[in-house]
Amino acid sequence: MARFLTIGERIHVISPTIRKALEERNPEPIIKRAREQVEAGAHYLDVNIGPADRDGEELMPWVVKVLQEEFPDTPLCLDTANMKALEAGIKVYDRKPGKPIINSADAGARIDMINLAAEYDAMVIGLCAKDGIPRDNDERIMYCTEILERAMEAGLSQENILFDPLFVVIKGMQDKQQEVLEAVRQISEMGLYTTGGLSNVSNGCPRELRGLIEATFCAMAIQCGLTSAIINPLDKLVMDVIKTADLIKERYLYADSYLDL
Amino acid sequence: MAYKMPVQKYSGKINEVTIGNGLKLGGESVLPFYSFDGDIGNKPAIGMEIWDIYPESWPKCLQEIFKDVADDPAKWANFCIYNYSPDFICLKFEGASPDGLDRSPEECAEIAKKVAESVSVPLVIAGCQSNEKNAKVFTKVAEALADKNFVFLSAVESNYKEVGAAVGMAYGNIVAAESSVDLNLAKQLNILITQLGIKPDRMVMDPGCSAVGYGFEYVVTTMDRIRLAALQQNDTTLQVPMILPVSFETWKVKESVATEDDAPEWGSQEERAVGMEISTAVGVLGAGANAVILRHPRSVEVVRNFINQMTE
Amino acid sequence: MALNGMQIYKLLPQKNCKECGFPTCLAFAMKLAQGNVEAEKCPYMSDDAKAKLSEATAPPMRTVKFGAGDFEYALGGETVLFRHEKTFVNRPRFAVMFSDAMSSDEVDRKIKNVNEVNYTRISEEMHVEIAAFKCEREDKDAFISLIKKVTDSCPKVVPMIMTENTEIAEEAVRQFGDKGPILFGANDQNYEAMVNLAKDHKLLLGVTAAGKEKLYELVEKIQKAGYKELLLDAGSRNLKGTFDDMINIRRTALLSGDRTFGYPTVAFVCDMAQDKMMQLACATLFVEKYASIIVLSDIDYSIALPLFALRQNIFTDPQRPMRIEQGIYKIGAADEESPLLVTVDFALTYFIVSGEVERSKVPAWILIPDAGGYSVLTAWAAGKFNGKSIAKAVKEFEVENKLKTRELIIPGKVAVLKADIEDELPGWKVVVGTEEAATLTNFLRNYKQAAS
Ligand code: SF4
3-state secondary structure chain C: CCCCHHHHHHHCCCCCCCCCCCCCHHHHHHHHHCCCCCHHHCCCCCHHHHHHHHHHHCCCCCEEEEEECCEEEEEECCCCCCHHHCCCCCCCEEEEEEECCCCHHHHHHHHHHHHHCEEEECCEEEECCEEEEECCCCCHHHHHHHHHHHHHHCCCCEEEEECCCHHHHHHHHHHHHHHCCEEEEECCCCHHHHHHHHHHHCCEEEEECCCHHHHHHHHHHHHHCCCCCEEEECCCCCHHHHHHHHHHHHHHHHCCCCHHHCCCEEEEHHHCCCCHHHHHHHHHHHHHCCCCEEEECCCCHHHHHHHHHHHHHHCCCCCCCCECCCEEEEECCCCCCCCEEECCCEHHHHHHHHHHHHHHCCCEEEEECCCCCCCHHHHHHCCCCCHHHHHHHHHHCCHHHHCCCCEEEECHHHHHHHHHHHHHCCCCEEEECCCCHHHHHHHHHHHHHHHC
The rounded Å distance from CA A144 to ligand 1 centre is 16
Question: Which residue, B176, B80, B78, is CA-closest to B127?
Answer: B176
Q: Which residues does chain C have within 8 Å of residue B271's beta carbon, measured at their own beta carbons?
A: 300, 302
* Contact by Cβ (8 Å): B23, B119: no
| Cα gap B219→B238, rounded to integer Å | 16
Question: Cα angle vertex B272, ends B267, B278, to 5°?
Answer: 155
Verify whether the Cβ–Cβ distance C355 to B2 is below 8 Å. Answer: no
C235 interface with B at CB cutoff 8 Å: no
| A257 vs B191, B225, B229: nearest CB | B191
- Whether A175 maps to a domain, the answer reads yes
Residue type, C124: E
Chain A residue closest to C24 (CA)? A142
The preferred substitution site among C9, C12, C31, C37 for testing ligand 1, maximizing ligand atoms within 8 Å of CB, is C12
List all residues of chain A from 142 to 161 with a beta carbon under 8 Å from chain C: 142, 144-145, 148-149, 152, 158
| Mutation site, C3, C12, C20, C30, interface A, largest A CB count within 10 A | C30
Q: What is the 3-state secondary structure (H, E, C) of A84-128?
A: HHHHHHHHHCCCCCCCCEEEEEECCHHHHHHHHHHHCCCEEEEEC
User: Could you give the number of structural domains in chain B?
Assistant: 1
* Contact by Cβ (8 Å): C364, C446: no
Verify whether the Cβ–Cβ distance B2 to C213 is below 8 Å. Answer: yes
In this predicted structure, what is the pLDDT of residue C348? Answer: 83
| Cα gap A195→A225, rounded to integer Å | 10
C5-57 with C63-314: one CATH topology?
Answer: no
Verify whether the Cβ–Cβ distance A144 to C31 is below 8 Å. Answer: no
ipTM exceeding 0.90?
A: yes
In this predicted structure, what is the pLDDT of residue C1? Answer: 54
User: DSSP per residue over chain A, as a string?
Assistant: -PPPEEEEEEEETTSHHHHHHHHHT-HHHHHHHHHHHHHTT-SEEEEE----TTTHHHHHHHHHHHHHHH-TT--EEEE-S-HHHHHHHHHH---TT---EEEEEESSGGGHHHHHHHHTT-EEEEES-SSSS-SSHHHHHHHHHHHHHHHHHHT--GGGEEEE-----TTT-GGGHHHHHHHHHHHHHTT-EE--BHHHHHTTS-HHHHHHHHHHHHHHHHHHT--EEEE-TT-HHHHHHHHHHHHHTTSS---TTGGG-
User: Could you give the number of structural domains in chain A?
Assistant: 1
A230 interface with C at CB cutoff 8 Å: no
Q: Which residues does chain B have within 8 Å of residue A247's beta carbon, measured at their own beta carbons?
A: none
Question: Which residue, B99, B166, B109, is CA-closest to B135?
Answer: B166
Residue B201 sits in a domain whose CATH number is 3.20.20.20
DSSP one-letter code for B72 = S
Q: Which domain holds residue B277?
A: 16-311
Residue type, A110: R
Per-residue pLDDT tens over the stretch A56-77: 999 999 999 999 999 999 999 9
Cβ of C23 below 6 Å from ligand 1 = no
* Contact by Cβ (8 Å): C293, C267: yes
Verify whether the Cβ–Cβ distance A148 to C26 is below 8 Å. Answer: yes
* Contact by Cβ (8 Å): C195, C222: yes
Q: Is the pLDDT of residue A256 over 60?
A: yes
| Mutation site, A243, A249, A252, A253, interface B, largest B CB count within 10 A | A253
Q: Which residues does chain A have within 8 Å of residue C33's beta carbon, measured at their own beta carbons?
A: 190-191
Residue type, B229: A
In this predicted structure, what is the pLDDT of residue B286? Answer: 98
Cβ of C174 below 6 Å from ligand 1 = no
Question: Which residue, A165, B112, B216, A234, is CA-closest to C352?
Answer: B216
Spans of all domains in chain C:
5-57, 63-314, 327-451
Question: Which residue, B301, B306, B305, B304, is CA-closest to B83?
Answer: B301
Verify whether the Cβ–Cβ distance C240 to B309 is below 8 Å. Answer: yes
Residue C317 or B91, more confident: B91
| Cα gap A124→A147, rounded to integer Å | 11
- Whether B9 maps to a domain, the answer reads no
Q: Which residues does chain C have within 8 Å of residue B6's beta carbon, measured at their own beta carbons?
A: 248, 251-252, 255-256
Question: Which residue, C356, C365, C366, C368, is CA-closest to C333?
Answer: C365
Per-residue pLDDT tens over the stretch B106-136: 999 999 999 999 999 999 999 998 999 999 9
List all residues of chain B from 104 to 163 with a beta carbon under 8 Å from chain A: none
Residue C53 has a CB neighbour count (10 Å cut-off) of 18
Write down the mean pLDDT value for chain A: 95
The values of phi and psi at residue C235, to 5°, are 90, -15
- Whether B49 maps to a domain, the answer reads yes
Our CA-based measurement puts residue C21 at a distance from the nearest CA of chain A, in whole angstroms, of 10
Question: Which residue, C313, C302, C356, C296, is CA-closest to C129?
Answer: C296
C123 interface with B at CB cutoff 8 Å: no
How many Cβ pairs closer than 8 A exist between chain B and C? 166
B234 interface with A at CB cutoff 8 Å: no
Q: Name B288's bridge partners.
A: none
Residue A81 has a CB neighbour count (10 Å cut-off) of 17
| Cα gap C24→C46, rounded to integer Å | 17
Q: Which residues does chain B have within 8 Å of residue A254's beta carbon, measured at their own beta carbons?
A: 183-184, 187
Chain B residue closest to C323 (CA)? B215
Verify whether the Cβ–Cβ distance A144 to C27 is below 8 Å. Answer: yes
Residue C21 or B1, more confident: C21
Q: Name C120's bridge partners.
A: C125
Q: Name C366's bridge partners.
A: C329, C341
In this predicted structure, what is the pLDDT of residue A1? Answer: 62
Our CA-based measurement puts residue A216 at a distance from the nearest CA of chain C, in whole angstroms, of 27
Q: Which domain holds residue A187?
A: 167-250
Residues 6+ apart with CB under 8 A from B249: B209, B210, B211, B214, B280
| A162-201 CB burial, b ≥16 within 10 A, e <16 | bbbbbbbbbeeeeebbebbbebbbbbbbbbbbbbbbbbbb
Between strands C230-233 and C204-208, the pairing is parallel
The rounded Å distance from CA C13 to ligand 1 centre is 7
In this predicted structure, what is the pLDDT of residue C2? Answer: 67
The preferred substitution site among C18, C32, C36 for testing ligand 1, maximizing ligand atoms within 8 Å of CB, is C18
Chains in contact with C, where contact requires at least 3 CB pairs less than 8 Å apart: A, B
- Whether B7 maps to a domain, the answer reads no
Residues in chain C, pLDDT under 70: 1-2
- Whether B217 maps to a domain, the answer reads yes
Question: Cα angle vertex C193, ends C188, C196, to 5°?
Answer: 120
| Mutation site, B188, B190, B226, B239, interface A, largest A CB count within 10 A | B188
- Whether B6 maps to a domain, the answer reads no
> Which CATH number describes the domain made up of C5-57?
1.10.15.40
Our CA-based measurement puts residue B70 at a distance from the nearest CA of chain C, in whole angstroms, of 21
In this predicted structure, what is the pLDDT of residue B88? Answer: 98
CATH 3.20.20.20 for domain C63-314, yes or no, is yes
Per-residue pLDDT tens over the stretch B174-183: 999 999 888 9
Going by alpha carbons, the residue nearest to atom 8 of ligand 1 is C25
| A252 vs B192, B195, B229: nearest CB | B229
CATH label, C327-451, candidates 3.40.50.720, 1.10.150.530, 3.40.50.300, 3.40.50.11600: 3.40.50.11600
C292 interface with B at CB cutoff 8 Å: no
Cβ of C12 below 6 Å from ligand 1 = yes
Our CA-based measurement puts residue A66 at a distance from the nearest CA of chain B, in whole angstroms, of 28
Per-residue pLDDT tens over the stretch B182-214: 898 999 999 999 999 999 999 999 999 999 999
Going by alpha carbons, the residue nearest to atom 6 of ligand 1 is C20
